[in-house]
Structures are given as C-alpha cells and as structure tokens.
Chain A
C-alpha cells in the first residue's frame, strides 16, 4: 500500500500551489480557483487520515463532504461578488478594487 506520507506530500504540494495562486494572481476569479485548490488539499488530508486510521470511524469522509458543500456555496457567493464588483468597477483585478485603502 502506498505510504501515508505520499498523500500528505501531494496534499502539501497542492496547498502550496493554491497558496501561491492566491498570493500571486491578480484576477479575482483566479484567486477563487486557487482557494478551491487549497480546500481540495485539505480534503485529500482528511480522506487519507481516515483511510489510515480507524475505518469504522466515518468523521473524515463526512468532513470532506461538508467541505465540498461549503466550497460550492462559497464559490457561488464568491462568483456573485465578482460579478457585482465587475459591474461596479468594470474590472476583476484585485489590486484595482481599493475601496479599503487608507
């Protein structure tokens, strides 16, 4: 069987790619995509720990399903916000949306 560390390394790599995407991309839609990558990295962790732990104890799987649901909802809201921002500022570049600037 593939050792647990492989899954964890995959997951960490995926999380780091997502984090890099969030910090480096300017397009708000791309930032949202990167956030999804980070969430899925977490899901891999959850499922892997379930598989290598007590299989009868279903919390890992259930948690990953809840994360899917929350991610779906978050994307719905996030995209709606992006559309709303676009309509108002005519851009989806995060740097140009600077209402909160001092």
Chain B
C-alpha cells in the first residue's frame, strides 16, 4: 500500500468499529472492546507507517503525501476533497495514534471489565459496586462492570474516527466534518452517564458552547472560500501569491482579509480549545468517564483546536510576521496569554483532582495559542505534542487514582467523594505505578528541568517570547508557568504524599494492568517526546533540534532558529523548581479535615478563584437567562399564550357564536320545523283517513274504484287529444 492509500484508510477502522459494535456486538463486552482496541491498533499502526515514511524524506515539507478526488461539482469545476500528510500532519498522527490507542486500552480496565455485574446498577449511571464473596467466604463490596460497556467503546471509536479525519484531511471542509463529529462525540461521552442531571447539563453545555465558536468558524471558512475559491491547505497556506493577496487586501473594518478570516476561524478554535471566554465547558466536561476526559484533553477535541490554529498560521501571519504582528496574531497572543494565567489561577483553588487538570489543560492550550500569537510556530507544535502525551498520562493516572480510591470507598463502606484530593493522601505506597507515572506527568506539566518533555517545549515558547521582546506575553506566561508548577505539586502532595486522610484512601488498591500499562507507555513519551526539540545552542549541536527542522518544513518560509540565550532558560528552571518547592512546602502538612492552607492568606481572592471568577454565574445570568426569559416570558407567555392564542380564541369564540345563532334561529325552527311538519302531516293524514277509507266492506272498495275509473274515463274522454 502506498502512503496515500494508508492516509485515506486511517479514519476507517474506528468508524467500522463504531458501526459494528452499535449494530451487532453490543451484547458481548469482550468482543466489543476487542474490535474497538483492534481498530485503534490498526489506525495506530497506519499512523506510525505514515510518520516513519515522512521522517525519512528529505525536505518533506516540499514533497508531501497527498491525493484528492473530485467531490462536489461547483459550476464547471469540482470541489476536491482529499488527504494530505505534511510534517504537521505526520507529527499529529504520531501523538494521536499513541494516545488514542493507550486510552482505548485503558478504558477496558477503567470500566471494570471482568468484574461482576452490579447489584443496583442501571444504565446511565456509574457502576455502584457489587457484593462478592472471596475464597475465604468473606463478603465485601467490589467494583462492578459498567452497564453500558460496549456503548462506550463504540462512542470513543467514532471519536477517534473524527480526529483521524480531521488530521488527514487536506482541506478545511473535511476538517470541519471531523471537527463536528468530535463535537457530537464529546456531547455523547460527556453525557455518557446520562441519568446524572449534572452530566446531562455538562453535555449540553459543552455542545452549545462549542457551537457558538463553530458558527463563526463556518463563517470564516465560507469567507475564505468566497475570496480564494478553494479550501485546500496547499493552495492557500503554501501559496505565496494567495497569501500575499489576502494579506494586502483590506476589509472595511481596517484589517486585512487574511486576518478577518483568521479571527473568525480563531473564534471556532476558542470554542473547541476552551480558551477564555468560551472555556466554561471544559471543566464541566469532567462529568464524563475519565478516559473521555483524556480523549478530549489530549488525543482529540482540544488538540484539534490547536492543530487548526497551527494549520491556519500562514493565514494568521499573512501580511505580517514575527516582527510585525497582524491583528489576528495579536488577538491570539492576548487571548492565549490571558487564558493561560486566568485558568492557572483557578486551578490553584480547585479540590477535584480532575478539575485541576481541566484548568491546567486550558492554561496549557493558552500557552500554545499565545505562542502562535507571537509567531513561535514550532514551539506551539512542540508543546501540542508533548502536552498531549503528558496530559493524557495525567488524566489516565488521575482516573487510576479515582478508581483506586473508589475501590477503597466500596471496600470500607466509607462513602467519600473519590475525586476530592482532600480525601486522599498517602497513595504513594498503595498505588506505586500510578504514583510514579503521575509524578512524571506532573513534572512534565510543571516543566521540571532537563528530564521532562514539558520543560523543553514550554521553555521554547518562553524563549521565543523573550527573544522577540514580547514582554507582556513573556511575563504573563512566566507567572502562569509558576502557578502551573505550584498547583501540580499541590496536587501530587495532596494525593500521593503524607498520610491517608480517609479510610477510603487507606484501602485504595493499585488498578489492573490494562490501566497501568498505558500509563507506563505514556510516561515514557512524557519524558522522551522532549528530546526531539532540545535547543541546539545548549548542546552545541551535539543533539540536533529535530522538531524544528521537521515541523518548520510545513511552512513556506522555514522559521529561523533562535539565538540560544541562557537567561530565559535559567528563568524557566527557577520558576519550575520554585513553584514545585512552594507547592510542597504549603501542602505537605495538610491533615484530615484541614481546610486548604491558602484559604487564610488569600481570603476573598480564594473564594473568587474557587468559584472560577463566577464565570458560570455570569454566563447563567447574562447569556442563559435572557434567552430563557425571552422564550419563557416574552415568546411563550406574552406572544404565544396572550397574543396569538388570544386571537385564535377570539376567532374560535366568534365562529362558535355564529354557529350557535344559526342553529337556534334558522336550523332548528325553519329547516327542522319544515321537515317535522311534512313528516307529522303525512302521519296525521294517514291516521285520520284510514278509518274512513278502510271499513272492511267490499262494496265500499268497489264503489271507490268505480268512481275513480269513471272520473278517469271522463277525464280521458274530455281532456286527452
């Protein structure tokens, strides 16, 4: 098979798995997960083939893999759709393939395959556990298998299909198709436990919020198609003439057409990648099962947003560049940097282990968007890749932690919230694999120097900002990075270090190998993925900065290599270690029942952070309430029930009156009266005449008939001609 054929086929196995599981095999759990994992493995293998074929080609950016077919006739030409693999696609396939496969495998254990059926479990709710007897005849509660086990695998199969479609497409239209498939899947999976009202609300919130962005994105795509007549990446983003025209023609608003389109599409990215102000759905998306969180946060969904941002970078920067920021770049820089620090501060005050990670994702995505805003193209790609690995790892680890604590909660009957970090502590010894992998992921997230992947990628963004004198962005990101290190260490300390704070944490158990194996694999990448992007200045060229050379080829103009500078690297090391140390010092002595040590010193600020700057309340009041008021009070009550129903009722009553009048004054007396008169009259005549005529005397009848005959005879005689 050629690489192009593989590209075409990549989204197919997960889609087939979805169809087969939904239609045929959903009764058999083992078969269903085998199909799903098998499909993911095939796509993973294909992705790896594409990736390794790609890296073996010199100047791959100029000789990409691609094939296209005519699809939609538009007048005398066709809209073509097709697949394409340039360096960005290849490296995206690399991380998507790995994370998707690992998440699929992890889901088997997470949904308790092989455990007994729950005693009170029902579809749409998380499993509640089952009473089992062990070999000593000792009865206790164990975890129970997910009631909708197969359904989950079908949905994540479709999810993976959406992501693969998005990554391999060579145009914005099929990208949008994949984008929306993922929108649907995120809705289905966040609301997977649909019997929980909070999960339902979160699913709707995620869908609606991303929809807000998607409308603008579609506008941007349509705009782009109107001005260029194509949606193909290579024809727009790799074509100097088109980029030049777009960058130098201006809209009435005073910004270039390229920037206008880029900003419209960027609004879609804000929705999908949960940037401020459309970030509200992502933390609520934690209502879904943990593999879904990992899927959304690392492998698909939000990564897709950043992928698109990177993809349209030539458009974003058209007519400008690193030294002369375009309006679209400025928008990205401001929103990205603001989101990075904004959600990092919220993460500091969250107690739910997954919520902290959710806000850290938003913050890290802000890093990437800000990097693009200041023109740090390669750094953004690099951080996207490393973030995918370590964030998938962190989510899966946190899922493992929750699983372990849940096991303890069921075992001891101590029903505490298994996601609250203040109910944990001391899990280091209970769950060693989870601890070590979480530690690696956490250190990568906080940018622990030299060892972890996160350090290299985050440092590259910071170094870029530093080198180009983007001081506002640089300082914001530095503070955000410090906070990141702080809350990550807070999380690790509260969860794994110290002594167990509840009985549930005391009886936590390490999770099965289907869950720990993906953790180990991802942990390797969380470290090793950074080695491809070590600045050449640091090692004096001993280790080549492979990422820069490879990914830079996606662009028409190869981005320049940064002059190596020790200052930003020292700052990165300092803030990372400082944040980590601070986190440990503040949280190492938290006892059971203690409040968060930050509550006292921060005071009202902590309340503000804990409530996420009241953004949900703000939206509920200013965005959700007005339409609800309009629909419930204005449209439904006033317009519909009073005005329209009023008119209808008036017409109805009027017609009723008219009908009533007709009935009483015409129909009843005239029509019925006449009918009755004829009937009654006939009856009366018959009744009155019968005794006279029918007397029973033959001679009488005879006289009558004679009379008639004579009369008729006379009549005929005289009157007939």
Q: Do A and B come from one complex?
A: yes
Complex: chain B residue closest to A94, CB-CB: B698
- Binary contact track A74-102/B, C-beta < 8 Å → 1, others 0: 00000000000000000000110111111
Q: With an 8 A cutoff between CB atoms, is A22 at the interface?
A: yes
Q: Please determine whether A98 and B691 come into contact, CB atoms closer than 8 angstroms.
A: no
Interface hits, A21-50 → B, CB 8 Å: 22-24, 31
Contact of A94 among B690, B697, B706 (CB under 8 A): B697
Q: How far is the CA of A24 from the CA of B693 in the complex (A)?
A: 19
- Residues in B neighbouring A101, C-beta threshold 8 A: 694-696
**Which residues of chain B have C-beta atoms less than 8 A from A95's C-beta?**
697, 699
Does B703 count as interface, using CB distance less than 8 angstroms? Answer: yes
Q: Smallest CB–CB gap between B526 and chain A, Å?
A: 117
B-side contacts of A24, CB under 8 Å:
699
Chain B residue nearest to A23 in the complex (CB): B699
In chain B between 516 and 530, which residues have their CB closer than 8 angstroms to a CB of chain A? Answer: none
B690 partner, pick from A19, A22, A98, A102, beta carbons under 8 A:
A102
A98 near B697 (CB under 8 angstroms)? Answer: yes
State the Cβ distance, B558 to closest chain A Cβ, in Å: 125
Q: Tell me, rounded to whole Å, the shortest Cβ–Cβ distance linking A12 to chain B.
A: 14
List the A side residues contacting B691 at CB < 8 Å.
102
The answer on a CB contact under 8 Å between A94 and B699 is yes
Q: Which of B673-721 contact A (CB under 8 A)?
A: 690-691, 693-699, 702-703, 706
A100 CA to B690 CA, complexed, in Å: 11
**Closest CB of chain B to A86's CB: distance in Å?**
16
Q: Which residue of B lies closest to A26 (CB)?
A: B699
**Shortest distance from the beta carbon of A101 to any chain B beta carbon, whole Å:** 3
In the assembled complex, the CB of A36 is this many whole angstroms from the nearest CB of chain B, namely 16
A24 to B703, CA, bound (A): 11
- When the two chains form their complex, are residues B703 and A102 in contact, meaning their CB atoms are under 8 A apart? no
Structural contact, B702 and A100, CB atoms closer than 8 A: no
Which of chain A's residues have a CB closer than 8 A to the CB of B696?
97-102
A52 to B695 Cα, complex, angstroms: 45
CB-nearest residue of chain A to B690: A102
**Contact call A100/B699, Cβ cutoff below 8 A:** no
CA distance A100 to B694 in the complex (A): 7
Q: Which residues of A contact B702 (CB under 8 A)?
A: 22-23
**In the complex, what's the smallest C-beta–C-beta distance from A85 to chain B, in angstroms?**
12
Shortest A82–chain B CB gap in Å is 12
Which residues of B lie under 8 Å from residue A99 when comparing CB positions? 696
Q: Are A102 and B694 in contact (CB under 8 A)?
A: yes
Cβ of B98 to closest chain A Cβ, rounded Å: 111
Establish whether residues A102 and B695, one from each chain, have CB atoms under 8 Å apart when the complex forms: yes
Query: A98 to B698, alpha carbons, bound, how many Å?
Result: 9
Q: Please give me the residue from chain B that is nearest to A98 by CB atom.
A: B696
Query: What are the interface flags for B513-554 relative to A under an 8 Å C-beta threshold, 1 for contact and 0 otherwise?
Result: 000000000000000000000000000000000000000000
Q: Which residues of B contact A23 (CB under 8 A)?
A: 699, 702-703, 706
* Chain B positions 572-611 with a Cβ under 8 Å from a chain A Cβ: none
Q: Chain B's nearest CB lies how many Å from the CB of A51?
A: 26
Provide the residues of chain A in CB contact with B694, threshold 8 Å: 100-102
Contacts of A19 in B (CB 8 A): 706
Interface residues of B in 194-244 (CB under 8 A from A): none
List chain B residues, Cβ under 8 A from A100.
694, 696
Which residues of chain A come closer than 8 Å to B697, judged between CB atoms?
94-95, 98
Task: Tell me, rounded to whole Å, the shortest Cβ–Cβ distance linking A75 to chain B.
Answer: 17
B347 → chain A, closest Cβ, in Å?
110
Instruction: Give Cα A22–Cα B693 distance, bound, in whole angstroms.
Output: 19
1/0 contact string of A13-25 vs chain B (CB within 8 Å): 0000001001110
B707 vs chain A, min Cβ distance (A): 11
Chain B residue at minimal CB-CB distance from A24: B699
Closest approach, in angstroms, between the C-beta of B699 and any C-beta of chain A? 5
CA distance A95 to B699 in the complex (A): 8
Contacts of A102 in B (CB 8 A): 690-691, 693-696
Contact code string B616-645 (vs A, CB < 8 Å = 1, else 0): 000000000000000000000000000000
Q: Which residue of A98, A101, A102 has the most chain B CB atoms within 10 A of its CB atom? A: A102
Per the bound structure, the CA–CA distance linking A73 and B209 in Å amounts to 109
Neighbouring A residues of B693 by C-beta, 8 Å? 102
Q: List the A side residues contacting B698 at CB < 8 Å.
A: 31, 94, 97
Instruction: Name the A residues within 8 Å of B690 (CB-CB).
Output: 102
Q: Nearest A residue to B698 by beta-carbon distance?
A: A94
**Alpha-carbon gap, A88 to B62, bound state (A):** 129
User: How near does chain B come to A28, taking the closest CB pair, in angstroms?
Assistant: 8
User: B695 — nearest CB in chain A belongs to which residue?
Assistant: A101
Residue of A nearest to B689 (CB): A102
Q: What CA separation (Å) do A95 and B698 show in the bound complex?
A: 7
> A31: shortest Cβ distance to chain B, in Å?
8
A23→B691 CA distance, assembly (Å): 21
CB-nearest residue of chain A to B703? A23
Distance of B333 from chain A, by nearest CB (Å): 115
In the complex, A19→B709 CA distance in Å? Answer: 14
Complex CA gap A102/B687 in Å reads 10
State in angstroms the CA–CA spacing of A22 and B450 once bound together.
146
Interface 0/1 of B456-477, CB less than 8 Å to A: 0000000000000000000000
- Determine the residue in chain A with the shortest Cβ distance to B691: A102
Could you say which residues of chain A place their CB within 8 Å of the CB of B695? 98, 101-102
> CA–CA, A94 to B699, complex, Å?
8
Smallest beta-carbon distance B119→chain A, Å: 90
CA distance A45 to B699 in the complex (A): 26
Distance of A98 Cα from B703 Cα, bound (Å):
17
Give the distance in Å from the alpha carbon of A94 to the alpha carbon of B702 in the complex: 12
Chain A residue at minimum C-beta to C-beta distance from B697: A95
Smallest beta-carbon distance B713→chain A, Å = 14
Mark interface residues in B556-568 (1 if CB within 8 Å of A CB, else 0): 0000000000000
Interface of B with A (CB < 8 Å)? 690-691, 693-699, 702-703, 706
Please name 24 pairs of A and B residues whose Cβ atoms are closer than 8 Å in the assembled complex, sorted by A.
A19-B706, A22-B699, A22-B702, A23-B702, A23-B703, A23-B706, A24-B699, A31-B698, A94-B697, A94-B698, A95-B697, A97-B698, A98-B695, A98-B696, A98-B697, A99-B696, A100-B694, A100-B696, A101-B694, A101-B695, A102-B690, A102-B691, A102-B694, A102-B696
A23-B706, A94-B697, A97-B696 are known; give 17 further A-B pairs, CB within 8 A: A22-B699, A23-B699, A23-B702, A23-B703, A24-B699, A94-B699, A98-B695, A98-B696, A99-B696, A100-B694, A100-B696, A101-B694, A101-B695, A101-B696, A102-B691, A102-B694, A102-B695
| Interface set of A (CB-CB < 8 Å, partner B) | 19, 22-24, 31, 94-95, 97-102
Across the A-B interface, the 4 shortest Cβ-Cβ residue pairs: A101-B696, A98-B696, A102-B694, A102-B691
